[in-house]
Chain A
Amino acid sequence: MTVKRISKNTRTTFITYGFVAAAFAVLQVLNSSGDLSPLLSGMLIPICAWVVMAISLNLTVGILGELSLGHAGFMSVGAFMGTTAAIALQRSVESAPLRLAIAIVVGAVFAAIVGFLIGIPVLRLNGDYLAIVTLAFGEIIKSIFTNLYVGIDERGFHMSLLKDRTDLLPGGKLIIAGPMGIGGVERISTFIAGFVLIMICLIVIFNLVNSRAGRAIMALRDNRIAAESVGISVTKYKMMAFVTSAAMAGGAGALFALNYSTVVANKFDFNNSILVLVFVVLGGLGNMLGSIIAAAALTILPEALRQFADYRMLVYAIVLILVMLGTNNPQIKNAFATCFDWLKGVFRKQSAKVSGERKEV
């Protein structure tokens, strides 16, 4: 009986795990048998990265209830730091999956550190002011990576800002070359790694949400003052959610960057943060499965619209507006609901019939 009482949360959790695992299994089988088009098979890893971005932002926006407009900044930190680690370890670590794992962890750790540092000032603010400060940090991170030079030689890492003053010894390698970003990256990301990363993030999020800390975080979201008055530490729990979210975005960044032979800081701009926010809002705040589906669908959508040629992005915009209207307008929603009720009615009648028939047999 106890199972039934908590079943709602657990059910959502297991449906989400099941959905991700099933989608992975189907795609993996299709991909290895070569039934997937080159386009889709090439998009599997970026989709995983965007899914992780979406669920991690959902932790900030949906669970913590703070609007962040700079999530791509954390992705950028993960992408650059993770890729740097992967390149630095190219010779010493032979196994590519191990190198990928290290890169993702490095990316996540650095993003978490940056998340913590940013969190100190950001989390003192509220609402739209918090949002604009995250936007500002996102732009600052972009600006720094555009002007950062990192090289490695036998003496270790060398760093400089604005101008290349790394003075590498012969045989050294300039990894991050300012505006040129990172080039000639070995592509070591795999779909399996993407799947594992999604699962780890889901486990972390669901365990967090269903824990004491998670309830404290949601209490802060629903009513900060009330939560504070019962002794919940605002800074601690806000920071916990924010840093976790940043770390996941960092991991996603590393996975994403190592799927391409080149990374530039401009990729992770404001528009990118907004894109992830669109996934989250479309999927429903706090709804992880929704985020996953929305991220996958909206990543595929522009590619699927290629048949519209010149009108592609115009159609994308219209679809986006229509979906938002469709999911949020009460009238349209009611129309859907009526439709659903009707379907349910038909279904019940039929199942009643079926069971009736069964009885007869």
Chain B
Amino acid sequence: MMKKALAFIMAMVMVLALVACGNSNTDPQTAPDDTTPTETTAFKIGGTGPLTGGAAIYGNAVKNAAEIAVEEINALGGIQFELRFEDDQHDAEKALNAYNTLKGWGMQISLGSVTSKPCEATATEAYKDRIFSLTPSASSTAVLVLDSDADPVTYKDNMFQMCFTDPNQGSASAQYIFDKGLATKVAVIWKSDDVYSKGIYDTFTAKAAELGIEIVSDTTFADGNDTDFSVQIADAQSKGAELVFLPMYYTPASLIFAQAKAAGFAPKWFGVDGMDGILTLEGFETSLAEGVILLTPFNADSGDAKTAAFVAKYQEKFGEVPTQFAADAYDCVYAYYQALTAAGCTTDMSAADICSAMIKQFTTMTFDGLTGEGMTWDATGAVTKSPKGMVIENGAYVGLD
């Protein structure tokens, strides 16, 4: 008994020693810089996102693209950035830990969090700490809202989004289907434990009801139950759906396409911005996604010179084609670059001072990026950019108007 307890204590001491080493190594970094303000020459920009675990693709895309943008901007010689991106494993608790780590490091401006729920948690803190945040991809409205009980609803003044909000996408999709007369009988397959999917689903169904589009089949899937879609597909098929709306990311969508094909079901498919990336999946047979319509702000294949340069650089560095997440993150860093330059911010300013300057800038400026031209932000923090309708033809996006 004694020996066991002893061995345990020894082991714990080892762990704690490791923890202590960890702390002592990061201490020089976490020491506040305000004693030597002139020494820092770069803006400290931080962000959190899932770099490990099931949602790791999204976090890594954002991190990689932000690194590229920071490198490019630093090479210009003007404003300098120092980027630190921490893992939050798509979890509010870890996201707050990651946020606090960044705060200790002396983060001046933030990229918020990559996914919605963690971003809600970090945004609340960033609001209190007066650190300006611009999230590339946390698209739920709850990220922006300060108090939903207030009448009218109040918004966090320092929280901005680079992606459009989920409600926007849902109603835009329904409107698009109605305007183009794509279908009158629609099936929806959505992810029942995902904020993103649920947010789009809610506004899509509301708008569809308003426009008289009939939703004949409404089925879901969830984490850990996201491999077999035979039932959902059979339901849509048997109820005669002409179009299937897929408010989800591309990983489950790729499985749905494959299984629908095996079942001999070929409706029109309609996706949202999370669908972008499906063509870049290694080994994916692009013919499965033939004819898929999606609303996306970003197109890696577009002839646009800026996009081409970004895609080439991303591919060279990370061996993958960037998705919309990456493009949004790249835009975020450039938006910061533009805003900081215009506001004349300097690296010795406190986070709170930068925050008020950024609020002024973002609500007034217009920004051209990879994911849209002439983007503006309103006081709530939501971006105004128009989703582009795309259709996949011969394994590439073709613009729809």
A interface with B by C-beta (< 8 Å): 37-39, 41-43, 46, 143, 146-147, 173, 178-181, 183-184, 187, 256, 260-267, 269, 282-284, 287, 290, 293-294, 297-298, 300-307, 310, 312-313, 319, 323, 326-327, 332-333, 336-337, 340
**10 sampled A-B residue pairs with Cβ under 8 A:** A38-B100, A38-B101, A179-B192, A264-B195, A282-B11, A287-B8, A298-B15, A337-B6, A337-B7, A340-B3
A304-B5 in contact given A266-B193, A293-B12 (Cβ < 8 Å): no
Q: Is the CB of A336 within 8 A of B7?
A: yes
**B142 contacts the other chain (CB 8 A):** yes
**Residues 4 to 26 of chain B near chain A (Cβ within 8 Å):** 4-8, 10-12, 14-16, 18-19, 22-23, 25-26
Q: CA of A266 to CA of B195 in the docked complex: distance in angstroms?
A: 11
Complex contact B15–A38 (CB within 8 A): no
Chain A residue nearest to B90 in the complex (CB): A266
Sample of 18 more A-B contacts, CB < 8 Å, known A178-B198, A305-B18: A38-B103, A41-B100, A42-B97, A179-B194, A180-B142, A180-B199, A184-B148, A184-B149, A261-B120, A267-B91, A301-B15, A306-B101, A307-B25, A323-B14, A326-B7, A326-B14, A327-B8, A333-B4
In the assembled complex, which residues on chain B have CB atoms less than 8 Å from the CB atom of A266?
Answer: 193, 223
B7: which A residues are within 8 A, CB to CB? 326-327, 332-333, 336-337
The verdict on B96 contacting chain A, using a C-beta distance below 8 Å, is yes
Judge whether B3 and A297 touch: CB under 8 Å: no
Complex contacts, B124 vs chain A, CB 8 Å = 187, 261
Known: A146-B193, A179-B192. A303 touches B101 (CB 8 A): yes
Q: A184-B145, A267-B93 are in contact. Are A323 and B195 (CB under 8 A)?
A: no
Contact residues in B for A269 (Cβ distance below 8 Å): 223
Q: Which of B97, B120, B140 contacts A43 (CB 8 A)?
A: B97
Measured between alpha carbons, how far is A147 from B225 in the docked complex, in Å? 15
- Chain B interface bracket (under 10, 10 to 19, 20 to 34, 35 or more): 35 or more
Chain A nearest CB from B295 CB (Å) reads 22
Write out, one digit per residue, whether chain B residues 333-364 have a CB within 8 A of any chain A CB (1) or not (0). Answer: 00000000000000000000000000000000
Q: Distance in Å from the Cβ of B381 to the closest Cβ of chain A?
A: 15
A261 contacts B121, C-beta separation under 8 Å: yes
B193 cross-chain contacts in A, Cβ below 8 A: 146, 179, 264-266
Q: Which residue of B has the minimal Cβ distance to A185?
A: B124
Closest to A145 in B: B193
Is B259 an interface residue, CB under 8 A from the partner?
no
Which residues in chain B, 171-209, are within 8 Å of chain A measured between CB atoms? 191-195, 197-199
Within 8 A of A (CB), among B84-136: 86-87, 91-94, 96-101, 103-104, 117, 120-121, 124
Enumerate chain A residues within 8 angstroms of B140, measured Cβ to Cβ: 180
In whole angstroms, how far apart are the Cα atoms of A337 and B9 in the complex? 12
Bound-complex Cα distance A238 to B195 (A): 39
Interchain CB contact under 8 A, A179 and B195: yes
**B65 interface hit (Cβ, 8 Å):** no
B101 x A39 contact (CB < 8 A)? yes
- With A260-B121, A284-B8, A307-B25: A42-B100 Cβ-Cβ less than 8 Å: yes
Interchain CA distance A337-B23 in the complex, whole Å: 29
Question: CB-CB < 8 A to A327: which residues of B?
Answer: 4, 7-8, 11
B50 to chain A minimum Cβ distance, whole angstroms, is 11
B386 at the interface (CB under 8 A from A): no
Tell me, yes or no, whether B51 is within 8 Å of chain A by CB: yes
A302 CB to closest chain B CB (Å) equals 8
What residues on A are CB-neighbors of B192 within 8 Å?
A: 146-147, 178-179
Closest residue on chain B to residue A174 by CB atoms: B148
A190, chain B: closest CB distance, angstroms: 16
Partner of B3, one of A187, A305, A333: A333
A287 nearest in chain B by CB position:
B5
Q: Which residues of B contact A173 (CB under 8 A)?
A: 149
**Bound-complex Cα distance A98 to B189 (A):** 44
Residue contact B222 to A146, C-beta cutoff 8 Å: yes
Find A294's partner among B12, B100, B101 (CB 8 Å cutoff). B12
Q: Cβ of B10 and Cβ of A326 under 8 Å apart?
A: yes
**Set of chain A residues within 8 Å of B195, measured between Cβ atoms:** 179-180, 264
| Smallest beta-carbon distance A7→chain B, Å | 15
Which of B4, B96, B193 gathers the greatest number of chain A CB atoms within 10 Å? Answer: B193
Interchain CB contact (< 8 A) of A313 among B52, B99, B223: B52
Is B285's beta carbon under 8 Å from chain A?
Answer: no
In the complex, are the beta carbons of A267 and B51 less than 8 A apart? no
Chain B residues near A312 (CB-CB < 8 A): 52, 87
Q: Is B30 an interface residue (CB 8 A)?
A: yes
- Considering the complex of A and B, which 10 residue pairs feature the smallest CB-CB distances, nearest first? A304-B22, A304-B19, A42-B100, A261-B124, A38-B100, A39-B100, A38-B103, A179-B198, A262-B120, A38-B104
In whole angstroms, how far apart are the Cα atoms of A340 and B86 in the complex?
40
B14 close to A260 (CB less than 8 A): no
Which residues of chain A come closer than 8 Å to B100, judged between CB atoms?
A: 37-39, 41-43
Residue in chain A with minimal CB distance to B119: A262
Per-position binary interface string of chain B over residues 240-266, scored 1 when its CB falls under 8 Å from any chain A CB and 0 otherwise: 000000000000000000000000000
Contact of A297 among B15, B22, B51, B93 (CB under 8 A): B15
Q: Report A-chain residues with C-beta under 8 Å of the C-beta of B197.
A: 179
Chain A residues near B121 (CB-CB < 8 A) = 260-262
Q: Kindly state the separation between the CA atoms of A298 and B15 in the bound complex, as whole angstroms.
A: 8
Query: A183 and B142 in contact (CB under 8 A), knowing A260-B93, A313-B52?
Result: yes
Determine which of A146, A178, A300 lies in contact with B19 in the assembled complex, contact meaning CB atoms within 8 Å. Answer: A300
List chain A residues, Cβ under 8 A from B228: none
Nearest-neighbour CB distance to chain A for B27, whole angstroms, equals 8
Cβ of A241 to closest chain B Cβ, rounded Å: 22
Whether the Cβ atoms of B16 and A297 lie closer than 8 Å is yes
Structural contact, B6 and A340, CB atoms closer than 8 A: yes
Contact yes or no, A183 B120, CB < 8 A: yes
Give the nearest-CB partner of A294 in chain B: B12
